[in-house]
Chain A
Amino acid sequence: MSVYLLRRLLQAVAVVFAMSLIVFVGVYAIGDPVEILISPDADQLERERAIAALGLDLPLWEQYFVFLARAMQGDLGRSFVFNEPALRLILQRMPATLELAFGATIMALIIGLPLGLYAGLRPHSPLSRAIMAGSILGFSLPTFWVGLMLIMVFAVQLGWLPSTGRGPTRELLGLQWSFLTWEGMRHMLMPAINLSLFKISLVIRLTRAGVRETILQDYVKFARAKGLRPARVVGVHVFKNILIPVVTVVGLELGSTIAFSVVTESVFAWPGMGKLIIDSINVLDRPVIVAYLMIIVLMFITINLVVDLTYSVLDPRVRLEAKGT
């Protein structure tokens, strides 16, 4: 088990390294931040001083090694724009994005699993057909449009929910969270619904497919032949088997929600990481982009690891061991 974890850790380091190189070169190739950052009326001397201050006068490979050397010490560089450490900039906005993403994922599970179970167990009932039709809408309606509609109906017309910002926050573990205050929850509700719509549909479809497949297995029939109550057959025998694919997909979905909930954050002016990265890309703020993507890579690796560990809990046939030598 510890060998397994060590191997995963080494893999993670390698991936982060490769990622930093690709992003570094990639952002360099896109354009010159100098053109955006330095005012056009600046004279030659000022320009050169600014370029030197940002470290952009060195050749690319040297810039990269400077970056790498500092990164080893936990310094991912200072934002060109905010002149603040990129890492701090990102971490400041991370709680907002995290709570939104987790809120959306939890909502997807709470709503998606029961609906998917129902649709799988009674595939021909009108309600199941309605659920499946609804899930197609959830898949295909564009996020920004749904977000705007939510705002129009619940914020503008009905006036029930606030449409922008995080609302008041409360501190927990040194970070500011919205979900700890009632007002904050009210602020979170609409963006979370907006983000979770796609995920709910996904969970419904996965669950339904899993149920349809599992229900035909001999062990389900045997469980019924043992005289178990239907609730136990479905709740234990079927449910535990369908959780495996659901956990996989929901884990990956959670990762991409954290990383790329840009649209929702923009629509609801949610001060999260998504908005930061879009702004940074616009001004070619390389340290922030690189740091952000490295954090995202680390996060995906962590989520994958958690998913793998969850497998071994859910399915006893999966054993986490280093294979081969």
Chain B
Amino acid sequence: MSGAASPTLEVRNLRTHFFTRAGVVKAVDDVSFTVPRGKVLGLVGESGSGKSVTGFSIIGLVDPPGRVVSGEILFQGRDLTRLSEEEMRDLRGNRIAMIFQDPMMTLNPVLRIDTQMIETVLAHARVSREEARQRARDALGMVGIPSPEERLHAYPHQFSGGMRQRVAIAIALLHRPDLIIADEPTTALDVTIQGQILAEVQKLSATTGTALIWITHDLSVVAGLADEIAVMYAGRIVERGPVAEVLDRPLHPYTVGLIGSVPSRNRRGEPLRQIPGMTPSLLNLPPGCAFRARCPRADEACRAEPPMRELLPGREARCFRPHLEAAAETAA
């Protein structure tokens, strides 16, 4: 219905706040990004930076006391924040799917795999049970589960963690969604399984044109998978740009710290660099740049709130003291 040029998802100034007794937690505070068709956005940040809440806001599953306070979530041109619960339900699992972090917890332990898959088909398509079963079996085959017909009869506890995550991915793929939100889906898996799943997801996204938001704290996963990267800190996106450029020449001091703390072959023997201090509490965040207290480059200017601005072509960051000299050096 929308032109090829319009992105699958466009989030504008999203704010999701949690109204707790202790005060308002601004878990997502003025977040904007776009995900074009068939592209992968890596949403990176530490625990508590608001990346998961961003995902749940898009799919409309933020539970009280949390709620989307303002902003627009344009999915194929429709603002999801204005949809009714029933319209939203019809999109979930159908046009927008989500994969969760812990595969041991996402499948209902007391229901068989076929039950959990068929119900997903029937929630959105008027097909016979037999047809639904067929689709479930095909989806299992697609994510590389051997002898899918038999595995349909199994219960979740009869699968390994990696297999369960494949089942969860198969469920997400049942209706060939236009957008998949993957919330750290490989964190709980071991590295070889992680690699296989990443390769398969990438292939699917490329062949079906599905847009993908990959939420993770693991920069190495994003490096191989994403087209764009958005780094979140304390509920805000602090840096955004094409993945190779951001990882090579980070602008925001937080991104620099994040990359510096990843173990690397080039710096063997050196102690790992840490970002000093702790993630600030989102409750009563002080005014100005949230990273100020931990930032080696912070000065008086950072007491004001830095706006998101384009510092290099296609590169945005929320910083008054970005690492532009390094960028200029390498560029020269």
Contacts and interface: CB of A to CB of B under 8 A. Distances in A.
Given A229-B123, A316-B155, A219 B90 contact: no
Interface of A: 217-219, 221-229, 232, 236-237, 240-241, 314-317
Given A218-B100, A227-B91, A241 B108 contact: yes
Nearest to A220: B108
Contact of A218 (B92, B93, B106): B106
B127 interface: no
B89 A236 contact: no
A317 B157 CA distance: 7
Contact of A219 (B61, B108, B119): B108
B301 interface: no
A227 B123 contact: yes
A227 B120 contact: yes
Interface string B92-130: 111001101110011111111000000110011000000
A317 B108 CA distance: 12
26 contacts: A218-B100, A218-B105, A219-B105, A219-B107, A221-B61, A222-B100, A222-B168, A223-B108, A224-B61, A225-B100, A226-B93, A226-B97, A226-B171, A227-B94, A227-B120, A228-B119, A232-B119, A236-B119, A241-B108, A241-B109, A241-B110, A314-B110, A315-B110, A316-B112, A316-B157, A317-B155
A227 B157 CA distance: 23
Contacts of A237: 108, 111
Contact of A222 (B107, B112, B155): B107
B59 interface: yes
Contact of A225 (B61, B90, B110): B61
Enumerate the 7 nearest inter-chain pairs by beta-carbon distance, A residue then B residue, closest first.
A227-B93, A218-B105, A226-B93, A227-B92, A316-B155, A225-B98, A219-B108
Q: Is the interface of B mostly helix, strand, loop or mixed?
A: mixed
Contacts of A217: 105
A225 B107 contact: no
Contacts of B110: 240-241, 314-316
Given A219-B108, A227-B123, 17 more contacts: A218-B106, A219-B105, A222-B168, A223-B108, A225-B59, A226-B171, A227-B91, A227-B120, A228-B93, A228-B119, A228-B123, A232-B123, A237-B108, A240-B111, A315-B110, A317-B155, A317-B157
Contacts of B112: 316
A221 B108 CA distance: 10
B212 to A, nearest CB: 15
A128 to B, nearest CB: 15
Contacts of A314: 110
Residue of A219, A227, A228, A236 most packed against chain B (CB within 10 A): A227
B271 to A, nearest CB: 36
A240 B102 CA distance: 21
Given A218-B102, A317-B155, A317-B157, A226 B92 contact: yes
Contacts of A229: 89, 123
A125 to B, nearest CB: 13
B88 to A, nearest CB: 9
B57 to A, nearest CB: 13
Given A237-B111, A240-B110, A225 B92 contact: yes
Q: Is the interface of A mostly helix, strand, loop or mixed?
A: helix
A222 B119 contact: no
Contacts of B108: 219, 223, 237, 240-241
Contacts of A228: 89, 93, 119-120, 123
A217 B94 CA distance: 22
Chain B residues touching A, range: 20 to 34
A214 to B, nearest CB: 10
Contacts of A218: 100-102, 105-106
Interface in B67-91: 89-91
Contacts of B124: 227
Nearest to A240: B110
A247 to B, nearest CB: 12
Nearest to A244: B110
B89 A222 contact: no
B61 A227 contact: no
Nearest to A314: B110
A239 B308 CA distance: 47
A223 B110 CA distance: 13
Residue of A219, A229, A240 most packed against chain B (CB within 10 A): A219
Contacts of A221: 61, 100
Nearest to B98: A225
Nearest to B158: A316
Contacts of B101: 218
A316 B101 CA distance: 23
A236 B105 contact: no
Given A226-B171, A229-B123, A317 B61 contact: no
B34 to A, nearest CB: 22
A273 to B, nearest CB: 37
Nearest to B110: A240
Contacts of B155: 316-317
A218 B97 CA distance: 15
Contacts of A227: 89-94, 120, 123-124
Contacts of B92: 224-227
Contacts of A316: 109-110, 112, 155, 157
A117 B94 CA distance: 28
Given A218-B106, A219-B105, A317-B155, A225 B97 contact: yes
A316 to B, nearest CB: 4
